[in-house]
């Protein structure tokens, strides 16, 4: 899989989701996708790539803009 772009990965994920929806149905597939996203963020937080403090600061600064 050398040289794959984000478009390639996006297409692969789309195909996998369609296959899962056709086999399992939309409910179980949506639940699996939601838990996959949650797992991704937990893993990136544990690896130190996801900074909750930075997100909090950005959210607080966004509320003060334009006033």
Helix axes 6-24, 26-46, angle to 10 degrees: 140
Model pTM?
Answer: 0.64
**Percent of all residues in the chain with a pLDDT value above 90, rounded to a whole number:** 43
Give 25-58 as a DSSP string.
Answer: -HHHHHHHHHHHHHHHHHHHHHTT---HHHHHHH
Q: Distance between alpha carbon 60 and the CA centroid of its chain, in Å?
A: 23
Give tens-digit pLDDT for 5-16.
889 988 999 999
Give tens-digit pLDDT for 23-38.
999 999 999 999 999 9
Residue 64 in this model has a pLDDT that exceeds 70: no
């Amino acid at each position: 899989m050398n040289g794959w772009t984000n478009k390639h990965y996006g297409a692969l994920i789309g195909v996998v989701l369609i296959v899962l929806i056709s086999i399992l149905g939309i409910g179980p597939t949506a639940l699996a996708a939601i838990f996959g996203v949650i797992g991704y963020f937990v893993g990136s937080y544990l690896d130190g790539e996801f900074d909750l403090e930075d997100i909090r600061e950005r959210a607080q600064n966004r509320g003060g803009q334009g006033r």
